[in-house]
Each structure stands twice: as structure tokens, then as C-alpha cells.
Amino acid sequence: MLVDIPSARDDLTWKLRNQTADLFSAGKTNVTEHRRLMWTTYQNLDLWYTTCKKTVIQLGFGRESTLADDVEGEVFFCENQMMRILNLDETDGSLDNTTGNRGGRPPVVFSDPAISCGALAANKSGYSSTVICGSSASGEAIPPHFQLNTLAKSDVTTRISVDWFAHLAQVIGKFGLDAPRGLPSKFGMNERGGMNSVELDN
């Protein structure tokens, strides 16, 4: 017995775009994001956290917790060791409010076509930089790092106005030091305005 399967409506996406969406674009699926979703199984997450636990203990940040420790979790951190564990993340910052490939998958926004949409002012500049922020495991904020792009071919010809950085507020914390102190924000420059092995080492 043969069953006649109706063909797919290829124009459905375009009808949604024209009639029900203000900002909606149709394209190929995000392969990278799909792989991340497929990876988040119980077995992989359990392996990740188990490896993280073993690494923390091997590096001397803590030990296996016991009932006498009365702590939450499976690891008892030694004194002042959580201040030495840092978590960093980078995000894309642009002057014209446009997004690049950094910062994850852009959202799809549906809106009511009956509501008028006002114009949004934007600085028409394609300049983009990278901002790196983070915190320690004890909750201390890390001074932000701004990675700017430059057209200079050597460090000798690099020029930047540091007035803006000079007036930034310092971030106060212990950061694994002997006593709390204020640390300024950092900045670096390279051709792409992004992080690389040299900046990570610095």
C-alpha cells in the first residue's frame, strides 16, 4: 500500500517572517551549538565534574570532605585556596551594538506586528574589542581586561590613550595575596582585538 506524503511547505518560514516576526532570519542550524546540546548527557557531565574534583585535589587546593568537615560538596578546600581558583570568560564589545561570533548563539525574537517599532539609534562604527571578566571561587571579582585591536605592525608604533583606563575604579580583593588591595583594570592590543596565547600568558 502506497501512502501519498504531502510535500513540505517551504514558504512557511517566509510567511512567519513577513506576518508575525519583526526580527527573524532563516538559515542553517548552528552546528556548534547543536553539538554542545548533544554532549550534555549525564555520563559526560558526571565525567566532567569527577575530573574537576580530581584535578582540584591533585593541585593541592583541597581534599576529600568528611562528615566532620560539615561542608557542602565533596571537596574540602584548604584555607585561602578558593581565592586562587579563577574563572574567566570573554565577551564581544562593539560600539554599534552589533554582534560577532563571540558570546554564543543570537536569539530569535518574535513580536506583534500590530505594535509599532520605534527606531533605535546606533553608533555606526564597526570597531569591536574583547572584554575579559571573571571571579575567584571565593566570590571576589577579578579586574576586567580589555583587549583592543590596533593596525600597528610593531610594539614601537602602537599608540593608545590611557586616560580612560586611568579613571576606572580599582577592584579590591585579596586574590591570593597576603592582604586585600586594589588592582587596576588591564588592557592589551593586537591585530584582531581578541585573546591569543600571548595575551593568555600575560
45 and 102 fall within a common domain? no
137 and 57 fall within a common domain? no
184 and 85 fall within a common domain? yes
DSSP state letters, 59-76: TTSEEE--GGG--SSSEE
pLDDT reported for residue 1: 44
What is the pTM (predicted TM-score) of this model? 0.56
What are the CA-CA distances from residue 174 to residues 3, 146, 183 (Å)? 71, 21, 10
89 and 151 fall within a common domain? yes
Look at residue 164 and tell me if it is in a domain.
yes
85 and 161 fall within a common domain? yes
pLDDT reported for residue 25: 58
Domain of 48, in residue numbers: 29-78
Q: Per-residue confidence of the chain (202 residues) as pLDDT tens digits?
A: 444 445 555 566 667 666 665 555 555 566 777 788 888 889 989 999 999 999 999 999 999 999 888 888 899 998 888 888 888 888 876 655 555 555 445 545 555 666 665 555 555 555 667 888 889 888 888 888 888 877 766 666 677 777 777 788 888 887 767 888 888 888 888 777 777 777 777 7
pLDDT reported for residue 24: 56
54 and 102 fall within a common domain? no
38 and 92 fall within a common domain? no
21 CB-near residues (< 8 Å, 6+ apart): 109, 110, 111
132 and 159 fall within a common domain? yes
pLDDT reported for residue 39: 84
Look at residue 2 and tell me if it is in a domain.
no
160 and 192 fall within a common domain? yes
pLDDT reported for residue 53: 93
Q: How many domains are contained in the chain? A: 2
Look at residue 56 and tell me if it is in a domain.
yes
Look at residue 114 and tell me if it is in a domain.
no
40 and 86 fall within a common domain? no
pLDDT reported for residue 56: 92
Cα(182)–Cα(187) distance, integer angstroms: 16
Look at residue 12 and tell me if it is in a domain.
no
pLDDT reported for residue 3: 43
Look at residue 178 and tell me if it is in a domain.
yes
pLDDT reported for residue 21: 57
70 and 59 fall within a common domain? yes
